[in-house]
Amino acid sequence: MKKSIFIITLMICGAINAQQVPQYSQFQRNQFMINPAAAGVYDFVDITMSGRWQWLGVDDSPRTSYLAFSVPVRFKPKYYNPGIRTSGGPVQNPEIKTGKLKHTFGGQMLADQYGAFRKFAFSGTYAIHVPMTKKVNLSFGVKAGLSNNSFLASQAQVLNIMAPEQNQYNDPTYDAFVQNQSNKYIMDVSAGLYLYSNNFFFGVAAEQLTRDMVEFGQGTANFDPQMHYSVLGGYKIPVSDKFTLTPGFLVKYMSPAPVSIDFNLQMEYKEWLWMTLGYRHTDALIAMVGMNISQRFKVGYSYDFSISRFNNYSSGGHELTLGLMLGR
């Protein structure tokens, strides 16, 4: 048996048994990527761009980038006048307004690549926010879109186990696998519930609800999408006039993979600068820092220090997030 078959088997099994959706270290600041019902919490156009590099030092390690935005229906833009000086320096986080019914539309574009597998996805989101009390809202959101899944033969490393010193191989099974590849499109539907106020948030969501019910193309890359479930929560604790602490958690599950659990503790200074320490069970320790640069811009950075077996091969992971707030 050729080693090429063994490698492909490992890659396919990894795609089936591991998390099939990207993970994010900055989940507490970008909850929209976890739960579609979190879209439109703020009453302005919220645009987020992010890039994530995981397991640096490992060839063809996972890389993820996305662009997401949400727009409230009743949004009234504040037109920019170039003659007016824009604000700079410390700017507090925007207030979360509750106690009224509102509708929100949004969208996401995602690029995710791990090894020889690549995924492009685009989707639209709708969320309705219903007031439970003057200080608490409950939102329901749905996301629907398509993902383009492909296998990159040029990224796959194959060897002839009978003659490993040779660069060439002869494996009809692998050749047939590569020739059978084409772009495969799979419909993706997600839904979530999200309960929130200015002091706490709690949400549950499910992704890839339709699995491969609707698909186009004949490729076998990512051929068996599974449902993913997540529970997200956090509570803000005032410590003083300047400092607040927000412990948060994220629990994810996909059968047959084990449960993934993230914990973090975010400290905010004057609701302008935030620093976070996090722990991903059996996987990584995480440090984050971010700030509001101005009324319109915010930035966040996180570093993952691996505590798993990849620590011997990887120099960690990086995640950079940029935010644009229009109409604050």
CA 97 – CA 131 distance, rounded (Å): 10
Which domain covers residue 185, as residue numbers?
3-326
Burial code (b: 16+ CB inside 10 Å, e: under 16) for 69-91 equals bbbbeebeeeeeeeeeeeeeeeb
* Count of the separate structural domains present in the chain: 1
- Between 155-159, 196-200, 243-247, 324-328, the lowest mean confidence (pLDDT) is in 155-159
pLDDT of 27 above 90: yes
CA gyration radius, the chain: 22
CA 19 – CA 64 distance, rounded (Å): 14
Q: Residue 33 gets which letter from DSSP?
A: G
Share of the chain above pLDDT 90, in %: 57
Higher-pLDDT residue of 90 and 243 is 243
pLDDT for the residue numbered 79: 54
Task: Report the range out of 161-170, 182-191, 284-293 with the highest average pLDDT.
Answer: 284-293
The answer to whether 122 and 146 have CB atoms below 8 angstroms apart is yes
pLDDT for the residue numbered 227: 94
- Between 4-18, 98-112, 268-282, 301-315, the lowest mean confidence (pLDDT) is in 4-18
Question: Average pLDDT in the 228-241 region?
Answer: 96
Burial code (b: 16+ CB inside 10 Å, e: under 16) for 308-325 equals eebeeebebbebebbbeb
Q: What CATH number is attached to the domain comprising 103?
A: 2.40.160.40
Question: Average pLDDT in the 87-92 region?
Answer: 68
pLDDT for the residue numbered 150: 80
Model confidence, pTM: 0.84
Q: What is the distance of C-alpha 59 from the center of its chain?
A: 22
- Between 114-118, 229-233, 300-304, the lowest mean confidence (pLDDT) is in 114-118
Task: Report the range out of 78-92, 185-199, 209-223 with the highest average pLDDT.
Answer: 185-199
pLDDT of 146 above 70: yes
Label residue 84 by pLDDT band (50, 70, 90): very low
Label residue 5 by pLDDT band (50, 70, 90): very low
Q: Helix, strand, or coil here: 162?
A: coil
Label residue 314 by pLDDT band (50, 70, 90): confident
Average pLDDT score over the chain: 84
CA 138 – CA 118 distance, rounded (Å): 35
pLDDT for the residue numbered 4: 41
Angle, alpha carbons 133-40-113 (nearest 5°): 135
**Residue 173 burial class via C-beta count within 10 angstroms: exposed 0-12, middle 13-18, buried 19 and up:** exposed
Identify each DSSP E strand in 197-296 by its residue range.
200-207, 215-216, 228-235, 237-238, 243-253, 260-269, 273-280, 284-292
pLDDT for the residue numbered 250: 98
> The tokens of 267 are what?
């400290």
Closest CA to 262 of 271, 274, 270, 253: 253
The answer to whether 41 and 75 have CB atoms below 8 angstroms apart is no
The amino acid occupying position 186 is I
Q: What distances in angstroms separate CA 89 from CA 79, 86, 273, 291, 326, one per listed residue?
A: 21, 10, 11, 10, 17
Strand (E) or helix (H) holding 179: helix 172-179
Closest CA to 275 of 310, 300, 294: 300
Q: What distances in angstroms separate CA 286 from CA 26, 61, 97, one per listed residue?
A: 9, 18, 30
pLDDT for the residue numbered 37: 98
Label residue 170 by pLDDT band (50, 70, 90): low
